[in-house]
Amino acid sequence: MALLASTPGTGAIATAAATSLGAPKSSLGVPRSSCSSRSLGLKTLVAAMQQGSGSTTVVTSGQSSSSGVTEVDKDSFWPLVDGAGDKVVVLDMYTQWCGPCKMMFPKIVELSSRYSDVMFLKLDCNQENKPLAKELGIRVVPTFKILKHKKIVAEIAGAKFDDLVRTIDTVRTG
């Protein structure tokens, strides 16, 4: 798993550098990072996210960019949720082959720029992450889990953008 943390403005530089070096691209067209997970510990990443008020981008598994949405896996999900503190966390559970998931992702990126006080995560419900998907009760994709204080407080099953926005607003203000 590759990890890269950047402060505002450097994500684009890292992406541009990776592109110019001919780095392979993920299925989302984002250059894969060559950074080692050992080069930056998970505790450091979590601390940076807490201090950054949403301005820190974490790139994991080469699937995310400076979009404001963090790709997680079975190993990184709960530590990031624990590190979120009082922030609302929105988890986008998707698969690579899901058409509605692909349609929702640009809207999730838009929400991540609108709500700087909300942490947006995404989980590919592939075979590797099946234990976490099962633990979280995934039945259909896309499914959005809304967490607050480390607990799931709401779920939106399906590509229901308006319902997702209403639920995020309700959880944020509640």
| Domains in the chain with CATH codes | 3-173 (3.40.30.10)
Report, as residue numbers or ranges, the catalytic residues. 98, 101
Mean pLDDT in each 10-residue stretch from start to end of the chain (174 residues)? 34 35 40 34 45 43 66 97 96 97 97 97 97 96 97 98 98 94
Nearest partner of 120 among 65, 173, 158, judged by Cα: 65
Do you find a cis peptide bond into 24, omega within 30 degrees of 0? no
In sequence order, the 6+-apart residues with CB closer than 8 A to the CB of 102 are: none
Sign of CA dihedral 55, 35, 24, 78: negative
Residue 67, pLDDT score:
87
Other beta carbons within 10 angstroms of residue 116's beta carbon come to 13
Measured CA to CA, the distance from residue 110 to residue 68 in angstroms comes to 9
Residue 53, pLDDT score:
44
Residue 174, pLDDT score:
86
